[in-house]
Chains A and B, each alone.
Chain A
Amino acid sequence: MPTTDYLVSIGLEVHVQLKTQSKMFCSCPVRFGEAPNTLVCPICLGLPGALPKLNAGAIEMTVLAGQLLGCSTPEVVKWDRKNYFYADMPKNYQLSQYDLPLCLGGEVPLYELAYPKDAQKSIVHPGKVVRLTRIHLEEDVAKSTHHATYTLVDFNRSGTALMEIVSEPELESAEETVAYLNSLRQILVYSGVSDADMEKGQLRCDVNVSVRPKGQEKLGTKIELKNLNSISAVRRALNYEIDRQIGEVEAGRPIQQATWRWNDEVGQTEPMRSKEDAHDYRYFPEPDLLPVRTAPFVERARAIRPELPHEKVARFEASYQISHYDASVLAADRALADWFEQAVQGSTAPKKVANWVINNLLAELNARSIGIADCPVSPTTLAALVELVESGKVSNNQGKEIFALLFERPQDSPEVIAKELGFEPADSSEIEAIIDEVIASNAGPVAEVMGGNEKAANFLVGQVMKRSKGKANPKQVTEMILLRLRPS
């Protein structure tokens, strides 16, 4: 059967580091890049006698993430011990949540712009929403660095708060999976719950993937993929693995449930361990922590819940009369959206401001490889520039020149720069003189305009612009010409 005769089911377990000030069960600060084993205490080192001390901030953040994703939170949640031995786990059990997690259900909308660029034109299920199974909170393990004959363990990360987001197996392609990860990331970054940078390990994911022939109800046997360290690795690994699984099934070799590992250098998946090697985690309720009543956390999260990307898109479309696409671009990054909204405040031309941000500002930031947070030009400055252009005091092209200069001299106002560049609107008597000349020497078009064909004025305007060396404002010139030639 050709590849298109198979259905693909992909489910994700995404681990997200929360942006809490301190660790999940102790007061050690959460910071990255510090000297190894300097952000540690008896609790996160698992010393004899140490007990966990719950960080309420982590619960609040997880409940907030849950609310943004439409999850419900049980009235009471508890903690469980997941028992297994590994050198990066100081207690040899991990505090996690087994059967009463902080969030149940929920969903992630797949944003159009979250798909890979090359796939945005051919989205199979536009507006698709992927359901979540649950979100639970757990503690992160330490970081191991393996060397030839030894392994070093840095416990600075040990005990930091980690949220695990489990999706239903509803994704149907590598591209949808990328869209899922990007959309989820966007929501988490938006809400300030996490920086969710995959490259920095702040967002890690394991992917379950299976294939089955079209028409088959029951899901195929799943393979869990590990060692996916970037979104592009997720896409490549999935495309490889889907092809591999279809190849196996085609060849009459049924898939055996197992964990495979993505080898990024070679560009293929490799077997890691079979189902039989799976741990028996011996979960049981953590006796050192009391169950938690969630009501106060739910209430608090409700109070601080920010607007979500797709909610912002809808509002931008309605409030600023901009296209869905433009609104999506602006809302994709919360900082950019905030910047835009500041610029638009008090502006008479929000749509123009949007155009300036999308067409000029983003290009300029890209060229400089900086983010909106580091943009030297302030939103009010851009707003002033747009006003300058819209009022006809400078032309669009002049505006662009000013804009480029503003990046070098962000403290100057657009008006000051316009003046320096000699972009003052030309003396109207000077323009009048040029118009006189142009009218005198272009009898044909003049006659057409006088005959009612206003479009013919464009040629005359062009002539005036040429003679004024771009100093004149085309809008004004048009008005002046029409005023004189329009049949009354």
Chain B
Amino acid sequence: MNISELTISQLRSAYTAGDITPVEALRALAGEIDARDPGIGAYLSYDLDRALVDAQSADLSQPLGGIPILLKDLISAKGHPLSCASKFLENTYTAPYDATVVRKLREAGAIPFGRANMDEFAMGSTNENSAIKLCRNPHDLERVPGGSSGGSAAAVAANLAIASLGSDTGGSIRQPASHCGVVGLKPSYGRVSRYGLAAFASSLDQCGPITKTVADTARLLEVIAGGCDYDSTCISTPVPRYSEEIGKDITGLRIGLPTEYFAEGLDPAIRERIESAMKTMESLGATIIPVSLPHTEYVVAIYYIIATAEASSNLARIDGVRYGRRAEASDLTELYEKSRGEGFGSEVKRRILFGTHVLSSGYYDAYYLRAQKARTLIRQDFESAFSRVDLIAAPVSPTPPVKIGEAEADPLRMYLADIYTISANLTGICALSVPCGTVSVEGKPLPVGLQLLGKPFGEVELLRAAHAYEQARG
């Protein structure tokens, strides 16, 4: 038995059957990582000794007893390093507290194990903005795994992790999940606490699972969801038993297909995969209904104004004064300029500059305020669509994963590729990516994800549909 290939459910069964202990599982997993991760780059680090201590006392009766969970490197876990894949924090910052999701994982018996590679401060969609190391797509090592939660998705896809937690600000869970052929969920805004996640854009960020199966995502969500005293944007509505709810059938489910999403720019092979997935859905009893999201052309502009504005402020605390890399300087201004100039990578700087600009006196009304107003229009688009359908189906990415180095030349093109994923963040609804086959590029099969989008706090319907599809697809 190769334990790293197991799902959460399978590993739990193996524990219960006494086939393996958490200590053995962790040692085996570490062995796999040592052997194969150098070729992929999904892990920034892991601490086996620390994890073994947890494993020895693992309570297997807990929902995630003894299950190692890989954390994106922006999730605080007490005593673990946190670098956000940035030179600024690498080797200089250790989290002194647990993020709420980590506390909940521990309470459920899980073992935080490993720090997943990512785009620096979650800014990027290829993982190439990691300032620490390259991460490759396990399905084609010449290609990117997607981002920003690239390490999380690549590790799960490469069977170097049982399951992982990522974060999604504009598609950062769903897009790498799609590119790597795994399941990734961005929960509704307010469903999962953000406390302890280094913030990119506060009004858009959500933490969510990246797993091998929909059932595992349901199981993880069940643990990490729920109210939090330390995050006032997190809502304390009761958490459904997702893992028990997903098995029900989906007869009568109405799925909307936004006409705007199937226009110019979408790779025909991907379009074909989505259409084929819709046939499967129909065979399961769902009805496919065309819907319109008329303001789709504005979402990228709205998103990049709001996300960068919030980021410019959120990243201000990374200044080298209290923690992180501090440059030699003769006064405070120079300390800021040099520390931040040397510590941040170019994409992070680009977005901080952009965000600072849109908030500046004289520009605020034209950019930030207008973007917030336009955000309401996007929300209304979705409300109107959801008055007619239960879920919306869409591609995740307009193209298969690009080759390493291809994206760098044209950041704008990369921004535009976020078009299908960012609306879920702008509107706060839930959305996931579930594998729907492959497309062949240069003779290699590359995974494609089907995106399903649900109403706010409609994770039950969303996961149920994804699970039904996953089972039918085989």
Which of B309-317, B341-349, B386-394, B463-471 lies on the face that meets chain A?
Answer: B309-317
> 1/0 contact trace for B157-188 toward A, CB 8 Å?
00000000000000000000000000000000
For the complex, give the distance between the alpha carbons of A282 and B76 in Å. 28
Q: Does B74 contact A (CB under 8 A)?
A: yes
Asked whether A81 lies within 8 Å of B319 as measured between CB atoms, the reply is: no
Whether A48 touches B76, Cβ cut-off 8 Å, given contacts A42-B97, A280-B360, A287-B203, is yes
Chain B residues, CB < 8 A from A93: 313, 316
For the complex, give the distance between the alpha carbons of A288 and B199 in Å. 10
Asked whether A290 lies within 8 Å of B82 as measured between CB atoms, the reply is: no
Q: Does A450 contact B (CB under 8 A)?
A: no
Interchain nearest-CB distance for A155 vs B (Å):
8
**Residue among A49, A90, A288 with the highest chain B CB neighbour number at 10 A:** A49
Asked whether B84 lies within 8 Å of A48 as measured between CB atoms, the reply is: yes
Interchain nearest-CB distance for B371 vs A (Å):
11
**Which residue of the partner chain A has the closest CB to B306?**
A287
By size class, the interface of chain B is 35 or more
For the complex, give the distance between the alpha carbons of A288 and B318 in Å. 18
> 1/0 contact trace for A30-47 toward B, CB 8 Å?
000000000000110111
Interchain nearest-CB distance for B206 vs A (Å):
13
Which of B15-23, B225-233, B240-248, B377-385 lies on the face that meets chain A?
Answer: B225-233
Which of A50-58, A185-193, A236-244 lies on the face that meets chain B?
Answer: A50-58
Interchain nearest-CB distance for A96 vs B (Å):
13
For the complex, give the distance between the alpha carbons of A43 and B360 in Å. 26
Question: Chain A: interface secondary structure?
Answer: loop
For the complex, give the distance between the alpha carbons of A311 and B454 in Å. 59
Interchain nearest-CB distance for A146 vs B (Å):
11
**Which residue of the partner chain B has the closest CB to A26?**
B230
Chain B residues, CB < 8 A from A87: 321, 332
Q: Does A83 contact B (CB under 8 A)?
A: yes
> 1/0 contact trace for B230-266 toward A, CB 8 Å?
1111000000000000000000000000000000000
Whether A51 touches B232, Cβ cut-off 8 Å, given contacts A42-B96, A92-B316, A284-B359, is yes
Chain A residues, CB < 8 A from B198: 48-49
Chain B residues, CB < 8 A from A86: 332
For the complex, give the distance between the alpha carbons of A49 and B323 in Å. 13
Q: Does A471 contact B (CB under 8 A)?
A: no
- Number of A residues, CB within 8 Å of B: 30
Which of B3-11, B38-46, B189-197 lies on the face that meets chain A?
Answer: B189-197
**Residue among B232, B360, B368 with the highest chain A CB neighbour number at 10 A:** B232
Q: Does A157 contact B (CB under 8 A)?
A: no
Chain B residues, CB < 8 A from A48: 74, 76, 82, 84, 89, 93, 95, 198-199, 317-318
Chain A residues, CB < 8 A from B417: none
Asked whether A92 lies within 8 Å of B195 as measured between CB atoms, the reply is: no
**Which residue of the partner chain B has the closest CB to A288?**
B202
For the complex, give the distance between the alpha carbons of A81 and B315 in Å. 13
Q: Does B99 contact A (CB under 8 A)?
A: yes
Q: Does B413 contact A (CB under 8 A)?
A: no
The number of inter-chain residue pairs (CB within 8 angstroms) is 98
Asked whether B356 lies within 8 Å of A92 as measured between CB atoms, the reply is: no
Asked whether B323 lies within 8 Å of A85 as measured between CB atoms, the reply is: no
Q: Does B298 contact A (CB under 8 A)?
A: no
Q: Does B304 contact A (CB under 8 A)?
A: no
Which residues between 59 and 102 of chain A lie within 8 Å of chain B, taking CB atoms? 81, 83, 85-87, 90-93
For the complex, give the distance between the alpha carbons of A290 and B232 in Å. 7
Interchain nearest-CB distance for A459 vs B (Å):
82
Q: Does B415 contact A (CB under 8 A)?
A: no
Asked whether B316 lies within 8 Å of A289 as measured between CB atoms, the reply is: no
Which residues between 199 and 214 of chain B lie within 8 Å of chain A, taking CB atoms? 199, 201-203
Interchain nearest-CB distance for A37 vs B (Å):
10
Q: Does B354 contact A (CB under 8 A)?
A: no
Chain B residues, CB < 8 A from A54: 232
Chain B residues, CB < 8 A from A83: 312-313, 316, 359
Interchain nearest-CB distance for A48 vs B (Å):
4
Chain B residues, CB < 8 A from A287: 201-203, 233, 310
Which residues between 275 and 330 of chain A lie within 8 Å of chain B, taking CB atoms? 280, 282, 284, 287-290
For the complex, give the distance between the alpha carbons of A52 and B313 in Å. 14
Chain B residues, CB < 8 A from A51: 194-195, 199, 230-232
Asked whether A288 lies within 8 Å of B232 as measured between CB atoms, the reply is: yes
Chain A residues, CB < 8 A from B336: 85
**Which residue of the partner chain A has the closest CB to B228?**
A51
Chain A residues, CB < 8 A from B318: 48
Interchain nearest-CB distance for B307 vs A (Å):
11
Whether A282 touches B360, Cβ cut-off 8 Å, given contacts A53-B229, A90-B322, A287-B202, is yes
Interchain CB contact (< 8 A) of B199 among A43, A49, A284: A49
Chain A residues, CB < 8 A from B96: 42, 47
For the complex, give the distance between the alpha carbons of A81 and B311 in Å. 12
**Which residue of the partner chain A has the closest CB to B333?**
A85
For the complex, give the distance between the alpha carbons of A287 and B199 in Å. 11
Query: Would you list 6 pairs from A and B whose C-beta atoms are within 8 A, ordered by A residue?
Result: A46-B322, A49-B76, A51-B232, A53-B230, A93-B316, A287-B201
Q: Which 7 interchain pairs have the tightest Cβ spacing?
A: A92-B316, A48-B198, A287-B202, A282-B359, A287-B203, A49-B196, A46-B317
